[in-house]
């Protein structure tokens, strides 16, 4: 009986050790394992490109990226259902305190790119120029008709569509334009940026608000397809519609901050050790990841962007 009991104890210890070993193997490293990442859906094209290269370089890495609104992306990190959030702002003090209350002392935000918010129009639209004040009026509802933009335009109601009721783009626009009230009755939330593009193509009176990464890479077949369906509006930083410089949300203008609605992109981490989240952040903010951002038509944080000015006499 004693020998039998001893054998049972030894067997139990071996099983326990084997279980511990399996658990150790399941722990992710900077280049292997599986984690969940939440991401603002407006950034999906560029983050999908980063993920594809990262997983090709590191075959044992599995990034489960959930594309959602900015609000829900950050909520997933706070609730420990995602290791990273990729959004267009840094953490608020309240969010930092929430992570500290969970004993997460190494939470950090890493800036990886400059992005922008684009305004898209029906392909046959003749009104393709807006001032910053007009954008504010369109969003707060004080401008609700196309003939308020251009007196020569026929009387048509303006309809504004964007990606989500919890949109990071709308949050940024309201903050930068000083809009403290609700959006005008002419503004409607859809579910994703491709829905916004499709809606604008089918509705001549509409203006769509999208993340520029959906239309910034001319080598991407999906971008080329989308660009056949819509026009991109010019924005004037000043409030005169004539004899003033206008800007499109293209790479050079975003880099120089000349396009007024540029924004920063951050990877917000709750990872308390050097795991797969840290590895992905290091990749995206490193040379290879920054070159992917540059190639996609956005502005990397580290890699240089060359701006060429051509003067004609």
Residue 6 pLDDT more than 60? no
φ, ψ for residue 305, nearest 5 deg: -115, 125
Instruction: Kindly indicate the confidence band of residue 15, based on its pLDDT and cuts at 50, 70 and 90.
Output: very low
Q: Does position 306 have pLDDT exceeding 60, yes or no?
A: no
Q: What are the φ/ψ torsions at residue 214 (nearest 5 degrees)?
A: -75, -15
DSSP 184: P
Answer yes or no: are the C-beta atoms of 50 and 282 closer than 8 Å: no
Q: Which CATH class is domain 29-114+263-300?
A: alpha beta
155: exposed, middle or buried (Cβ count in 10 Å: 0-12, 13-18, 19+)? exposed
Q: Per-residue pLDDT averaged across 221-225, rounded?
A: 92
Each residue's pLDDT tens digit, 106-135: 778 999 999 999 999 999 999 999 999 999
Rg (CA), the chain: 24
Which position has the token pair 């608000």? 209
DSSP H or E segment with residue 280: helix 276-285
pLDDT for 105 equals: 76
Query: Mean pLDDT of all residues in the chain?
Result: 89
Q: Could you tell me the CATH superfamily of domain 116-262?
A: Periplasmic binding protein-like II (3.40.190.10)
- Cα separation of the two ends of the chain: 103
For the segment 270-305, what is each residue's pLDDT rounded down to a tens digit?
998 899 999 999 999 999 999 999 999 999 998 655
Would the CATH topology of 29-114+263-300 be identical to that of 116-262? yes
| Nearest Cα residue to 62 out of 22, 28, 23 | 28
Q: Which residue ranges make up each domain of the chain? A: 29-114+263-300, 116-262
pLDDT at 239 over 70: no
pLDDT at 106 (0 to 100): 73
pLDDT digits (tens, 9 = 90+) for 74-117: 999 999 999 999 999 999 999 999 999 999 877 789 999 999 99
Residue 10: pLDDT over 60: no
Please count the CA atoms within 13 angstroms of the CA of 15 that sit on its side-chain side: 6
Percentage of the chain surpassing pLDDT 90? 81
Binned at pLDDT 50, 70 and 90, residue 307 comes out as: low
């Amino acid at each position: 009986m004693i020998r039998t009991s001893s054998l049972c104890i030894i067997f139990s210890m071996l099983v326990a050790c084997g279980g511990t070993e399996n658990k150790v193997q399941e722990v992710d490293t900077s280049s292997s394992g599986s984690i969940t990442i939440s991401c603002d859906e407006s950034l999906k094209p560029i983050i999908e490109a980063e993920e594809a290269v990262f997983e090709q370089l590191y075959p044992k890495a599995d990034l489960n990226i959930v594309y959602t609104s900015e609000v829900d992306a950050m909520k997933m990190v706070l609730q420990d259902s995602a290791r990273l959030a990729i959004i267009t702002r840094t953490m608020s003090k309240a969010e930092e305190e929430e992570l500290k209350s969970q004993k997460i002392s190494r939470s950090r935000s890493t800036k990886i790119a400059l992005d922008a918010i684009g305004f898209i129009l029906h392909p046959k639209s003749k009104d393709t120029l807006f001032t910053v004040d007009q954008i504010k009026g369109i969003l707060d509802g004080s401008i609700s008709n196309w003939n308020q933009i251009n007196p020569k335009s026929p009387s048509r109601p303006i309809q504004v569509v964007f990606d989500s009721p919890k949109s990071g783009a709308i949050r940024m626009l309201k903050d930068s334009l000083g809009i403290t009230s609700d959006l005008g009755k002419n503004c409607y939330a859809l579910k994703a940026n491709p829905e916004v593009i499709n809606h604008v193509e089918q509705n001549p009176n509409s203006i769509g608000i999208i993340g520029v990464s959906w239309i910034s890479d001319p080598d991407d077949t999906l971008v080329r397809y989308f660009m056949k369906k819509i026009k991109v509006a010019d924005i004037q930083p000043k409030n005169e519609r004539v004899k003033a410089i206008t800007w499109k949300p293209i790479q050079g203008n975003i880099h120089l901050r000349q396009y007024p609605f540029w924004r920063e992109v951050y990877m917000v981490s709750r990872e308390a050790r050097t795991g797969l989240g840290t590895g992905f952040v290091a990749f995206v903010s490193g040379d290879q990841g920054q070159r992917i951002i540059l190639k996609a038509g956005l502005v990397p944080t580290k890699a240089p962007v060359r701006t060429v000015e051509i003067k004609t006499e």
